Structure 1
Amino acid sequence: MGFRFQKRVKLGGGLGLNISRSGISPSLRTKMGTFSKNGYSTKTGISGVRYQNSGCLVFFLFTGAITFLIYTIKHL
């Protein structure tokens, strides 16, 4: 049985850092789901069920920047 370590540090506005044994990675949580360097996952409305798709880092950066801009504009 393996040992697993994972911790999320909240930075505010949905931004956060995921810390695990394999390293540190940024993520962005929205009402629709979570974007990270490994892809994105979408909430389904069913407790414990999520749709997850792996994507590239460019997609993460683009969607993260757009989501951050929309969030910032809405909360001015």
Structure 2
Amino acid sequence: MCLKAVLGKCFNNGYFQSKFWLTVQIKVDKKIKTGAKENDLNVLLSLLDTTTFIGLRDAVAILTFYKTGIRINTLG
């Protein structure tokens, strides 16, 4: 968006004769990953031993990731 604003100012000042950037489309060549479903989450949580501190900690972290979308480095 910042580049679009700069190009708009340049067009308004007469540096460009057309708004060529309006027809530019950016294509993402990476495959987009699908999000986890609630069923996948339940399977993962059922594999954890929540009677231990480590298992409970991991379960809380996984639920926090799922519910809030926070990234692992931010949570760490």
TM norm structure 2: 0.27
Which structure: greater helix fraction? 2
TM norm structure 1: 0.27
In our comparison, the structure showing a higher alpha carbon Rg is: 2
Q: Comparing both chains, which one has the higher relative contact order based on Cα–Cα distances under 8 Å and sequence gaps of 6 or more?
A: 1
Which structure: greater strand fraction? 1
